[in-house]
Amino acid sequence: KNQVEQSPQSLIILEGKNCTLQCNYTVSPFSNLRWYKQDTGRGPVSLTIMTFSENTKSNGRYTATLDADTKQSSLHITASQLSDSASYICVVSANFGNEKLTFGTGTRLTIIP
Amino acid sequence: SAVISQKPSRDICQRGTSLTIQCQVDSQVTMMFWYRQQPGQSLTLIATANQGSEATYESGFVIDKFPISRPNLTFSTLTVSNMSPEDSSIYLCSVVTGLHYEQYFGPGTRLTVT
């Protein structure tokens, strides 16, 4: 069964600090892995998308890594800002000819001043 | 990219009634989906909205409960029928477009059933 597990479930850090969110998956055949940011009351917004051959990708202060061998990904946030408070969702795509997405339950990140 | 709007943004409905949610995309897209996000949970795919044919439903979701229309490549509706409190959720429209199957989500419709 395809699954995506994220940790921690929630995280509180001080503004300006760095943090790393984790994602482990058992999805096959692997197509790509995406990180989304979902602000409260809004739809998810894509941060990064990585294919099998990519092991790191950055989007501003967000850096995602992918280890396809261990089926793990991380999202590192540098110099956090209050606006980073959101849920971060890891989504893994399996390619069955028609992309099938498996969503993680998300990490709820709260940045405090 | 794709910009998606949904109507209504939120609603409070009585048990046994139905609500139709509209999704409008600013460009023509082939692949359009409807998701549900229950409180504290991640997204669950309800169905794929197919233009010109019946929607394709995921396990656990049926057409009688969640009828979907897709009259063209920029618009779709999802109806939540005969609602119960268990249907209280955020309902999101989503499209996939671009070379890398980039997925975009609408802002969601927050439904509360009393």
CA distance A105 to chain B (A): 4
Tell me the mean pLDDT in the region B33-37: 95
C-beta atoms of A43 and B106 within 8 A:
yes
Average of per-residue pLDDT values in chain B:
93
B31-67: burial string, b at 16+ Cβ within 10 Å, e else: bbbbbbbeeeebbebbbbbebeeebebeeebeeebbb
Contact A89, B43 (CB under 8 A): yes
Average pLDDT over residues A85-102: 84
**Cβ neighbours of B94 in A, within 8 Å:** 43
DSSP chain B: ---EEEE-SEEEE-TT--EEEEEEESS--SEEEEEEE-TT--EEEEEEE-TTS--EEPTT--TTTS-EEEEETTEEEEEE-S--GGG-EEEEEEEEETTTTEEEE---EEEEE-
Q: At residue A87, does pLDDT exceed 60?
A: yes
Please, are residues A12 and A35 in contact by the beta-carbon 8 Å criterion?
Answer: no
Per-residue model confidence as pLDDT tens digits over A12-60: 999 999 999 999 999 888 888 999 999 988 899 999 999 888 999 999 9
pLDDT surpasses 70 at A97: no
Tell whether A103 lies on the interface with B, counting CB pairs under 8 A: yes
pLDDT at residue B53 in the model = 83
Q: What is the pLDDT of residue B30?
A: 87
| Mean pLDDT computed over B46-59 | 90
Average pLDDT over residues B70-76: 94
pLDDT at A96: 60
- Out of B42, B45, B107, the one facing A104 most closely (by C-beta) is B42
pLDDT computed for residue A98 by the predictor = 62
Q: What percent of chain A has pLDDT over 70?
A: 96
